[in-house]
Amino acid sequence: MSFRYLGNKTRLTDWIVGEIANVLPSGSTIADPMCGTASVSLALARAGYSVSAADALTFPVVHAKTRLLAKQPPEFRELGSYDMALNWMNSAKPIEGYFFNEFGEAGRPANGRGPRLYFSAENAAHIDGVRHNIRELNASGAINELEHSVLLHHLMLATNRVANISGTYGYFLRKLSKTALRPISFEPIQFEKTLGNHTVLQGSIEENASLLKADAVYLDPPYTKRQYAGNYHILETLAKEDEPVAVGDGGLRPWKEQASNFCYRRNAAMAFRQTLEQLNVPHVFISYSQDGQVEEEQLLSILRDYGKVTLHEQPYTRFRSNDRVKNGTVLERIYHIETF
């Protein structure tokens, strides 16, 4: 996965799965209802667990469907094969559409400001062309739901590789970087035939917590004040296949209805309590950073109201999306709660 993503656990998955495996045997069921890019979901699936993944945002759900449910390359009968589907995306006719105008270097944003330099003009037009083609193919019934997700997954991966950003999509760089000047390309991915029976749903943890039926729940809540819905608005627009009003200099889509209480210092502790109150599973594992909105002692006090707590820690390099984020390492923590 080529993601510069807040809280991405790709480099921590061996440790996380190892701690879970010390408690639950392979073959158990685990829910990952805040799945992000589904890196932990996939690692759990590789380890033999049956995984139920979910997220409040659309783009993580698309990633999870592709990574968990597509256990082999889809047939893409209408396009000839998976490889031909990639060629079809690579050769898409450029269109000067929504992405070209709102997010490209030669664009004309609807709010009258100057061009937003998220993408080169060529890449923005190619993105528009691919989006148009996927929508038409899906509307015609020529692809099934999983094939649709795979195409969108590829579109987001390819877009992310040429995005002119420092880490998130909260804003763009002042000049097009060498990375952003490269032509967008659609490259094959590895599909993994994991053993478990997996499911993927969309919905917030508030909506899903009481519905989760599993041997354990793995929670990976946001720990900074930066909202995912705002910082990854480009990916959400690609996944939703819509054309929302691009607001302000950064061109953000309307996102406040998708804001997470875990990102607000005044609400984060309450969000933990509300989530744990609704869960009805024997084991809860929570990933949380030393830099989180809730301090360690306060979080431990909350968690101990719901069961026996064991804490595991590992140093990890901080995610840096701009020069204002300090260098160095931070302690990543896994809290294991054996519920009452």
Give the integer Cα–Cα distance in Å for 209 and 213.
9
Say if residue 176 is in the same domain as residue 324: no
Of 338 and 6, the structure prediction assigns the larger pLDDT to 338
Question: Looking at residue 1, what is its pLDDT?
Answer: 47
**14/84 same-domain check:** no
Q: Tell me which residue range forms the domain holding 309.
A: 1-58+196-222+260-340
Residue 217 has a pLDDT of 98
pLDDT in tens, 106-154: 999 999 999 999 999 999 999 999 999 999 999 999 999 999 999 999 9
Asked if 268 and 139 sit in the same domain, the reply is: no
Could you read off the pLDDT of 316-334 as tens digits, one per residue?
Answer: 887 554 555 555 788 999 9
111, 161: one domain:
yes
Mean pLDDT within 204-218: 96
User: Quick one: pLDDT at residue 326?
Assistant: 56
Same domain? 28 vs 141? no
**SS3 of 1, please?**
coil
Query: 24 and 115: one domain?
Result: no
Whole-number percent of the chain with pLDDT over 70: 96
Q: Is residue 174 part of a domain?
A: yes
Are 277 and 339 in the same domain? yes
Mean pLDDT of 228-250: 97
Confidence check: pLDDT of 82 > 50 = yes
How many domains are there within the chain? 2
For residue 167, the model assigns a pLDDT of: 87
pLDDT tens digits along 275-307: 999 999 999 999 999 999 999 999 999 999 999
Both 114 and 78 in a single domain? yes
Same domain membership, residue 154 and residue 81: yes
Average pLDDT of the chain, as a whole number = 95
Are residues 47 and 101 both part of a single domain?
no
Q: Give the whole-angstrom CA distance, residue 290 versus residue 40.
A: 19
Contact 121, 105 (CB under 8 A): yes
Closest listed residue to residue 7, CA positions, set 62, 53, 60, 58: 60
Contact 200, 153 (CB under 8 A): no
Q: What is the DSSP letter of 57?
A: S
Per the CB < 8 A criterion, the answer to whether 293 and 261 are in contact is no
Residues 47 and 146 in one domain: no
203 and 89 belong to one structural domain: no
pTM: 0.94
pLDDT of 14 above 70:
yes
